[in-house]
């Protein structure tokens, strides 16, 4: 599987897990379960630009889209502690993905300058 196909699959998987968490976040057990699932998948994926980052972008993108006002004037994510908790999960997953991206170290060649 190429890196692009893997990234697209993980973007869709992140959106799917985000949708599942969004649907059940208003129940007493839904927010902890959704948060645990989102973080568990993030930890299970290997660090990288083609793995954790697309997953986190899919999850966060879905939450940001759901937090916007709908044409009817209501919201899918309420302005209550559970809604803010859901958005906090998105921030934690996104920051965790960005921080865990391995950086490349370049060896500087000393040309005597």
Rounded-to-integer distance, Cα 27 and Cα 57, Å: 25
Please report the pLDDT score of residue 73 as a whole number. Answer: 61
Average pLDDT over residues 24-48: 84
Indicate if the pLDDT at residue 53 is higher than 60.
Answer: yes
| Residue 97 pLDDT > 70 | yes
**pLDDT score, position 102:** 76
Tell me the domain boundaries of the chain: 3-99
Is the pLDDT at 33 greater than 70, yes or no? Answer: yes
**DSSP 8-state symbol, 104:** P
pTM of the model as a whole: 0.79
pLDDT, residue 84, reads: 79
Higher pLDDT pick, 70 / 24: 24
């Amino acid at each position: 599987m190429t890196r692009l196909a893997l990234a697209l699959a993980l973007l869709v998987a992140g959106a799917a897990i985000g949708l599942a968490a969004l649907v059940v976040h208003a129940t007493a057990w839904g927010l902890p379960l959704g948060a645990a699932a989102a973080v568990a998948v993030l930890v299970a994926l290997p660090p990288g630009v083609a793995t954790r980052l697309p997953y986190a972008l899919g999850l966060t993108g879905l939450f940001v889209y759901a937090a916007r006002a709908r044409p009817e004037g209501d919201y899918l994510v309420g302005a209550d502690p559970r809604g803010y908790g859901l958005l906090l999960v998105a921030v934690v997953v996104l920051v965790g993905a960005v921080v865990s991206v391995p950086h490349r170290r370049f060896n500087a060649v000393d040309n005597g300058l």
